[in-house]
Amino acid sequence: MTGIEKIIYQIESDTQLVCDEIISGAETKARSIIDEAKIEAAKLASDIAKSCDAQCEDIAVRAKSSGALEERKINLVTKQKIINTMINNTKAYIESLNDDKYFGLILRMIENNSSEKNGVIAFSKRDLDKLPKDFMNIANHVSRGELTLSPDAANIKSGFILIYDDIEENCSFDAVFESKREKLSDEVSRLLF
């Protein structure tokens, strides 16, 4: 081997060593980067899984809460329908009583709602047509003041209206039931539920 060949061989050999060292260092560095990336990826995957679990749990809690709220709403609407049906059925029952019982109830209402002033009593068309002949005598006996029968029918389904000067007291069954609706609802609810 000549001098030049030895120099070239030495350069190639040194170059190969340097290349091997660079490659070895690069491989080590690459393994280190890959290991760090795997650790970071595992951490990210764990964080994402925890976040998904938390979101799923939150969604499940909200869905359960929403379902419970919807169930309460449905129960409330159902109870209200039952209460309204019972109140309406009671009103219909009162309106369908035989004349003696019906007008007996009207007399008790006159006694409880009349004023000490003199006034006018107006009945619904239905009640005016069925009014017993001696009813006004009995009504004036239980009333606190003198009542005169209005010849005109009141624009109500059943019951009566007491008129004192410019003041009217609506004693129709619709008005009475409406004014007592909350109390009646509470009572029916207590009995049924």
The closest of 57, 52, 162 to 112, measured between CA atoms, is 162
Taking phi first (over 0 means left), then psi (-120 to 50 degrees means alpha), and beta for anything else, what does residue 137 get? alpha
Alpha carbons within 13 A on the beta-carbon side of 5: 2
Per-residue pLDDT of 83-103, as tens digits, reads: 788 888 888 998 898 999 999
Q: How far apart are CA 64 and CA 62, in angstroms?
A: 5
Q: What span, in angstroms and rounded, lies between the C-alpha atoms of 97 and 63?
A: 51
Question: Among 54-63, 92-101, 107-116, 136-145, which is the least confidently predicted range?
Answer: 54-63
Quick one: pLDDT at residue 85?
85
Better pLDDT: 14 or 73: 73
- CATH node for 98-192: 3.30.2320.30
pLDDT at 152 over 90: yes
Is residue 33 classed as helix, strand or coil in its secondary structure? helix
Higher-confidence residue: 15 or 110? 110
Q: pTM for the whole thing?
A: 0.61
Does the pLDDT at position 128 exceed 70?
yes
Instruction: Check whether 161 has a pLDDT greater than 90.
Output: yes
Break the chain into its structural domains and give their ranges.
Answer: 1-96, 98-192
